[in-house]
Every structure is written in C-alpha cells, then in structure tokens.
Amino acid sequence: PMFRILAGDDNPMNLTVVRGLLKPTQIMVDTCESGEECLRLCEYGFYHMILMDHMMPDMDGVETMHALKEKYPYYRDTSKIVVLTANAIAGARQMYLDYGFDDYISKPFKGEELIGVIKKYCKVN
C-alpha cells in the first residue's frame, strides 16, 4: 500500500522543502499549516507518519500531538508522530520523546535524515 505522510508546519517554505525531499520516493505527502488543520485531515484519512513542527501559532506541535492521540486513539499505536524543530539544545531529543513524540528531527535537516527516520519506522524502499 502507498505510504502516507502528513507534514504540518506554519511556514509554507518548510512544507515545500519536505515535499521536494520526498519527491523521488513513492510516498504520498499531504501538508497542513496548523494544528487544527492537521486534526481535520486526520479525521478523514490515515497517515503512517506525521511530521509536526513544534512552534506553530494557536495550537503548537505538542498540543496537536496530544490532541491527535486523544481524539483518534489509533494514532497512538499505528502511526509515528515526529517533531520537526529548530530547538536543538542539549537534551531536546529526550524532552520531545518525553512529551510523547516517536522521534525528533532538528531543523534545518537534510533529505537523508528525513528518509532515514521514515525508513526506521516504515517499510518503504
């Protein structure tokens, strides 16, 4: 089956970068620019992985991730939620894992990093 990813970031340029990096793969990428939009899209479709920016207005990535897991319990078990953040301070990775994210990618990131995290969790070639 087609592998599906949802990328959420309030900066459209970052979404363009993610789409560009994943273009050579067979991965289907949907994008959204807010936590609310992310929740709406997840209501109607299933994503194997959600790439979530931490710092978004209104509802940040942490709040969105918690809301997703609460509202749609199947996202707790069957989907991976990965935070994308410019917050690269010491201990940031562990902090995000403690929040409940499955993994952490610090910005700016390279295509190999993104593909590496996807391959780590998902059966894609």
* CA-based nearest residue to 81, from 57, 105, 58, 59: 105
Residues 41 and 119: their CA atoms lie apart, in Å, by 23
Rounded to an integer, the average pLDDT of 99-119 is 92
pTM equals 0.92
Burial code of 109-120, b = ≥16 C-beta within 10 A, e = fewer? eeeeebbebbee
Tell me: the pLDDT tens digits for 3-50? 899 999 999 999 999 999 999 888 999 999 999 999 999 998 899 999
Tell me: the pLDDT tens digits for 47-87? 999 999 999 989 999 999 999 999 998 888 889 999 998 87
